[in-house]
Structure 1
Amino acid sequence: MSAPFLLGLSLAGRRVVAVGGGAVTARRVADLVAEGAVVEVVAPELDPRLRELADAGRIAWAARGYAGAADLDGAWLVHVVTDDPSVDAQVAADAEARQIFCVAAGSAALGTARVPARSSVPTATGPVSVAVHAADDPRRAVHVRNALEEHLAAEAAAYLDSGVIDLRARRPRGGWVALVGAGPGDEGLLTRRASQLLASADVVVTDRLVPRSVLDRLPAGVRVIDVGKRPQHHPVPQVEINRILVQEARAGHGVVRLKGGDPYVLGRGGEERLDCEAAGIPVEVVPGITSAVSVPAAAGIPVTHRGLARGFTVVTGHEEIPQLPTGGDHTLVLLMGVARLRDTTDLLRAHGRPATTPVGIVERGWTADQRVTLGTLADIADRAEAVGVSSPAVVVVGDVVTLAHGWAAQAAETGGGAATPAGGHTAYPSVPKESVA
């Protein structure tokens, strides 16, 4: 059979006959029923999924083997796959004689129709159907289909540069706010839903930790309002940010509040949601990959690890650290902890953590400029000052830091990693992305 002519069929209300009652038929029949086809299955026994459909009255079942061409009367499409090749061949021949298209799932060469690898992908502009045929190579067809799904689901990334489509023109009317997490710094870690909402926004209210490339690809005409906070510099207070979100949505705009990491992990997303909802503004929350977990991971540090750490706590470094478990088997993750690092390490030691507790600082995680500084509670503040550690950075305290890329080299240099090596600090650059992936 030559390469098929791909064609969409409207089978709603039309008779389809499926010969064979196994798992392959079950998958195909489920799709046909979802399309509204009137399906009859001819088979002595049924796969449990088909039996469930039959018991519910959603398909007809002739509980017997194929009885000849009369079984195909009135059919618009025939599907056959049994455990007997001769039966499959007979069904295909009978369908051919009656000019009915036939899908022979057990041997494509027998049939006159083929079912491509298919899916329906929800996008910001509505669902898109994907169908892929790959010259009788179903595995390759599925691979290509999956790649197309990824491409379409991240529709914003595909269309923002080209301007092929204005997603804002296709969204529901009325103002709304979406609190969207941008992830830890690599735009590839942005979620599909985040990309869709960015492509349909009128206004993006952003902080400073959002990847610049994401903002650079926004559609023309989208207003970007930068409300980013920097250490000791908060030009737009939180109450004003909340007011901006409400005001823009009330004006009928689609507003994305784009925040680094996750909006609900020390991001004040809860405050923003409550203020918007109090004003009657519909709010959607789109989680992001939190930097509290992902940035340490980029440096090779898991926040939990069997035999090393059974739990972890995430706290803000802007405030005094509360009393927490002091064992190295409980990981402490500090966000925004650089400015008060020396005070924090002193306090942790006063609370009972040993001076030899491993500490890692990961700056600019998941970017080309990522840098990791390793030490202990006794010396990490000195090491950080020596290399000029700055925000954004995530500080990790606990035994899991010994799994960091570079820790083994430091331990060998310092005789265990607790003492400051000759020359002061040890700072390790980012592991190349291909090594991390």
Structure 2
Amino acid sequence: MRVTPVPAKKAPRPGASPSTRTGFASFVGSGPGDPDLLTVRAADLLRSAEVVVTEAPEHAALVASLAPQAEVVDGGFGTDGQPLTHAARAKVVVRQAKSGRRVVRLMAGDPFVYASGPEEALACVKAGVGFEIVPGISSVTAVPTYAGVPLTDRSHREVAVVNCSEAKIDWVTYADDRTLVLLSAVGSIGVIAEALVAAGRPAGTPVAMTRVGTTTEQETVVSTLGCISADARAAGMTPPAVTVVGDVVDLRTTLSWFETKPLFGWRVLVPRTKEQAGSLSAALRGYGAVPEEVPTISVEPPRNPQQMDKAIRGLVEGRYEWIAFTSVNAVRAVREKFDEYGLDARAFSGLKIAAVGDKTAAAIEAWGLRADLIPSGEQSARGLLEDWPPYDDVLDPINRVFLPRADIATETLVAGLQELDWEVDDVTAYRTVRATPPPAPTREAIKTGRFDAVVFTSSSTVRNLVGIAGKPHASTIIAVIGPATAKTAEEHGLRVDVLAASPSAEVLVDALADFGAARRASLVEAGQPVTKPSVRRPSARRKAT
């Protein structure tokens, strides 16, 4: 009897397709800190992950945003609360991968640059687990870039990266004019600087130390080898930080782009409905702000839906010549009724559609419809009336307008349409009610001036914020979307600093950014440090006589 030996099982080659038999892990670099720097591939893997093995607390928000469906496994600490070694962390990854689920091992920066990616990938090879490496943007290059410090230019082509946590470094080998990128150097920067000067580097060599780079908490200290120790200590620099040594640091004077954003680091309160805050917050982040959304309004169905039901039936039966939408919420309310009745956009056939502004028109267009009338000037009820045609009994077969609105809407549009000889069915399509108060720390921050600015997008947001959280501190910059909102703010004792030129959230954010830029320029011109509005000088105490 001939026995054929069974060939030894080969470990899957790196990059092999996932297999439920051997398991598979994706080592994903999360980048240097800014979630917007995550690669497209990394985001796709997180969205489809079933297990995410993390190593840093700051990964929590990223995972919650992109992988809420995944089980999160702490790869930083064991069940006893002690930090895991590289070997122990690798075992966690292998065990999860062998479960047959889609596993993402999320790592700060790049998995293969000053990280434990190589050791953990080797453990996968040894265990017969397939893997892939998804590079991330490393802090080695990203943080200096965000600080406005290029690592190379025409005159400086060579760069050396030094991990200063290593036990023994021969600084004589770095005595030339290469650009140095120092990692983990905050605690020993004085000793390092002295060693570099002793090795032959001039004491006047420029140095830039940047902490928590690529985030809105980023802070950079520019100094020289002779002074960096004292300057970093005076600035209270703490890890994590990346330090650049070399003449390229001088370029920061003209190339600093991130920390000079007009609203950099500003904590901005966004009191809006939760559904509507997204685009405004995104625009604020683009200017370097840190938006904090506090819902002040909850949009709910009308208490009595019969009026809305009757109006929808009238729309289908052809009782109206026009339907006028004065908000995105009104579009949403009518659309929900259509879904409830099994109707679609075809029911609008022969009906003219008016929208109070571009945002509302976009919501209508998303429904597959197009507004026939949008104000050519001011995007408001008054602007809509200026362009609205008067009723003509020859041209208009029907003289009735369907106006689905909020329960607290003003009568401006109704009265104006009636003056143009239109009959108006003013229907409550939704209610705006005051939201529950924000958490106590947020209320305290509002009252004590720890927010740098607050943006009000309607009179109701002013009334409701003051009602549920109290009046913002006098130092807080108040930005409002239009004259009516400004009037309400002033009636509540608030000083209006920024007024949008037109009633648009984007225009409002741009106006606040212009204010921030002008404020920054005036501080620089006066030779004063650029501080945020929430950073107030201690008031001078009057001496007793």
Q: Normalising by structure 2, report the TM-score.
A: 0.41
Name the SS of the counterpart of 2:244 in structure 1: strand
SS in 2 for 1:265: coil
Distance (Å, rounded) in 2 between the aligned partners of 1:318 and 1:208: 19
Deviations 1:262-308 (A, max 9, x none): 1111112111111111111111001111110111010110111112x
Find the counterpart in structure 2 of residue 225 from structure 1: 73
The answer to whether the 8 A contact 1:185-1:209 is kept is no
Alignment of 1:160-309 (within 5 A): 173=20, 175-208=23-56, 210=58, 212-228=60-76, 235-307=83-155, 309=156
Q: Could you tell me which of 194, 197, 212 is aligned with 1:346?
A: 194
Whether the 8 Å CA contact 1:300–1:403 is kept in 2: the answer is yes
For the residues of structure 2 that align with 1:214 and 1:194, how far apart are their CA atoms? 11
1:310 to 157, 178, 187: 157
CA distance in 1, matches of 2:82, 2:113: 19
Give the Cα–Cα distance (whole angstroms) in 1 for the partners of residues 242 and 101 of structure 2. 35
Residue equivalent to 2:259: 430
Q: 1: CA distance between counterparts of 2:72 and 2:203?
A: 46
Instruction: For 1:300 and 1:343, locate their aligned partners in 2 and report how far apart those are by CA, in whole Å.
Output: 26
Offset of 1:212 from its aligned partner? 4.4
Q: State the alpha-carbon separation in 2 of the partners of residues 269 and 390 from structure 1.
A: 26
Output the CA distance in 2 between the equivalents of 1:209 and 1:291.
17
Per the TM alignment, residue 359 of structure 1 is displaced from its structure 2 partner at its CA by 0.8
Report the RMSD for the aligned CA atoms in angstroms. 2.7
Displacement of 1:350 in angstroms is 2.7
The C-alpha deviation readout for 1:39-93, integer Å capped at 9, x for no partner, is xxxxxxxxxxxxxxxxxxxxxxxxxxxxxxxxxxxxxxxxxxxxxxxxxxxxxxx
Q: Alpha-carbon deviation of 1:228?
A: 4.2
Alpha-carbon distance in structure 2 between the residues aligned to 1:294 and 1:253 = 32
Distance 1:396 1:226 in 2: 32
Change (3 A) 1:224 1:344: farther
Structural mapping, 1:22-421, within 5 Å: 173=20, 175-208=23-56, 210=58, 212-228=60-76, 235-307=83-155, 309-319=156-166, 320-323=168-171, 324-328=173-177, 330-405=178-253
For 1:234 and 1:177, locate their aligned partners in 2 and report how far apart those are by CA, in whole Å. Answer: 24
Distance 2:56 2:260 in 1: 24
1:159 is matched with none
Q: Residues 110 and 138 of structure 2 are in contact (CA less than 8 Å); yes or no, is this contact kept in structure 1? A: yes
Q: Does 382-391 or 209-218 show the bigger shift?
A: 209-218
**Aligned position for 1:419:** none
CA–CA distance in 2 between the matches of 1:211 and 1:358?
Answer: 34
Aligned-partner residue type, residue 161 of structure 2: V
What is the match of residue 356 of structure 2? Answer: none
SS of the residue 2:122 aligns to? helix
Contact 2:110 2:135 in 1 (8 A): yes
Quote the sequence identity (%): 39
In the TM superposition, residue 220 of structure 1 has moved relative to its aligned partner by: 3.8
Distance 1:199 1:322, change over 3 A: farther
Aligned to 1:217, what secondary structure does the other structure show? helix
Q: Secondary structure of the residue that 2:229 maps to in structure 1?
A: helix
**CA deviations over 1:204-254 (Å, ceiling 9, x no partner):** 22232755431221444422233449xxx9712111111111111122232
Work out whether residues 19 and 100 of structure 2, in 8 Å CA contact, stay in contact via their aligned partners in 1. no
8 Å Cα contact 1:186/1:211 also seen in 2: no
Q: Report the CA distance shift for 1:407/1:186 in structure 2 as closer, same or farther (over 3 A).
A: closer
Q: What SS is found at the alignment partner of 2:83?
A: coil
Query: What is the DSSP-based 3-state SS (H/G/I as helix, E as strand, rest coil) of the residue aligned with 2:161?
Result: strand
- Aligned residues of 2:148 and 2:258 also touching (Cα < 8 A): no
Q: Amino acid of the residue matched to residue 311 of structure 1? A: E
The 8 Å contact of residues 174 and 196 in structure 2, kept in 1 or not, is answered as: no
8 Å CA contact 1:374, 1:407 repeated in 2? no
Between the aligned partners of 1:337 and 1:254, the Cα distance in structure 2 is 37
CA distance in 2, matches of 1:228, 1:337: 22
SS at match of 1:404: helix
TM-score if structure 1 supplies the norm length?
0.51
- Secondary structure of the residue aligned to 1:338 is coil
Structure 2 residue runs of 5 or longer lacking an equivalent are 1-17, 265-285, 289-545
Aligned AA (1:215) = V
- CA distance, structure 2, for counterparts of residue 235 and residue 273 of structure 1: 20
Q: Is the 8 A contact 2:33 2:214 kept in 1?
A: yes
Tell me the CA shift for residue 348 of structure 1: 1.9
Alpha-carbon distance in structure 2 between the residues aligned to 1:400 and 1:209: 33
Q: Do the aligned partners of residues 172 and 242 (structure 1) sit closer, same or farther apart at CA in structure 2, a change above 3 Å counting?
A: closer
Looking at structure 1, the residues matched to 33 and 24 of structure 2 have their Cα atoms a distance apart, in angstroms, of 26
For the 8 Å contact 1:338–1:393, the answer to whether it is kept is yes
Look up the match of 2:463: none
Q: Partners of 1:359 and 1:240 in 2: how far apart?
A: 38
Asked if the contact 2:43–2:66 (Cα under 8 Å) also holds between the matched residues in 1, the reply is: no
Give the Cα separation in 2 of the matches to 1:348 and 1:250.
49
After TM superposition, the runs of 4+ consecutive aligned structure 1 residues lying more than 6 A away are: none
Residues 256 and 340 of structure 1: is their aligned pair in 2 closer, same or farther, counting only changes over 3 Å?
A: farther
Over 3 Å counting, the alpha-carbon distance change for 1:202 and 1:340 in structure 2 is: farther
CA contact (8 A) 1:182 1:259 kept: yes
Q: Is the 8 A contact 1:180 1:259 kept in 2?
A: yes
Gap change, CA 1:340 and 1:225, over 3 Å in 2? farther
Corresponding letter in the other structure for 1:189? L
| C-alpha spacing 1:252/1:289, structure 2 compared with 1 (3 Å) | same
Q: Which residue of 2 aligns with 1:26?
A: none
